[in-house]
């Protein structure tokens, strides 16, 4: 019963994931902010999936999206792939402790995880490939994440409830 209930929303989240991934990698040059917003929402969504819909096939999904983001955003393989794979392993080890948390705390944890993941990606890309750490860009992403994450979280909660 529970599995069938989650199965449908899992598919919806995956459709959303591919849409946001496409918008992230296919930039609209006239509105670069759209690109950053989609990048931020994509991260939030992938964390949400990892925490609420953890299953083994997510490793493959994380692997493919990590590789895809690396190929399109950096043209090198590494930062997103390694961050995504390790993040999912960490979610697996910790998500049993999240059941006791309240909704707001879970939201804050998701937001913090998202910002930390983006920060890690930037650090890894700096260490591995020498991309300079752009603080203003990071702050922009963090700010957009804060603005967009709560409405997105509410929408996701609604999707979970309805489907």
Residues at the contact surface with other proteins, assessed by CB under 8 A: 18-19, 21-23, 25-32, 34-36, 39, 56, 59-60, 63, 66-68, 71-78, 81-82, 85, 122, 125, 128, 131-132, 134, 136-138, 141
**Whose Cβ is closer to other proteins: residue 36's or residue 47's?**
36
| Closest distance of CB 19 from other proteins, Å | 6
**Whose Cβ is closer to other proteins: residue 33's or residue 101's?**
33
DSSP helix/strand/coil, 134:
coil
**Whose Cβ is closer to other proteins: residue 47's or residue 141's?**
141
Question: Do 81 and 70 contact (CB within 8 A), yes or no?
Answer: yes
**What SS3 string covers 74-99?**
HCCCCHHHHHHHHHHHHHHHHHHHHH
DSSP alpha helix (H) spans, the chain: 2-25, 32-52, 57-69, 79-94, 103-129, 135-162
| Closest distance of CB 17 from other proteins, Å | 11
| Closest distance of CB 147 from other proteins, Å | 18
d(CA 36, CA 137): 9
């Amino acid at each position: 019963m529970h599995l069938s209930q989650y199965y449908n929303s899992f598919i919806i989240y995956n459709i959303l994931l591919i849409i946001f991934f496409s918008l992230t990698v296919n930039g609209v040059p006239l509105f670069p902010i759209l690109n950053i917003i989609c990048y931020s929402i994509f991260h939030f969504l992938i964390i949400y999936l990892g925490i609420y819909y953890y299953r083994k096939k997510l490793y493959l999904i994380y692997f493919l999206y990590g590789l895809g983001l690396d190929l399109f955003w950096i043209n090198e393989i590494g930062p997103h792939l390694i961050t995504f794979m390790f993040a999912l392993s960490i979610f697996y080890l910790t998500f049993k402790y999240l059941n006791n948390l309240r909704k707001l705390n879970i939201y804050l944890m998701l937001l913090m995880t998202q910002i930390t993941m983006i920060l890690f990606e930037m650090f890894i890309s700096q260490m591995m490939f020498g991309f300079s750490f752009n603080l203003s860009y990071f702050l922009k992403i963090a700010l957009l994440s804060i603005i967009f994450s709560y409405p997105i979280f509410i929408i996701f909660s609604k999707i979970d409830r309805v489907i």
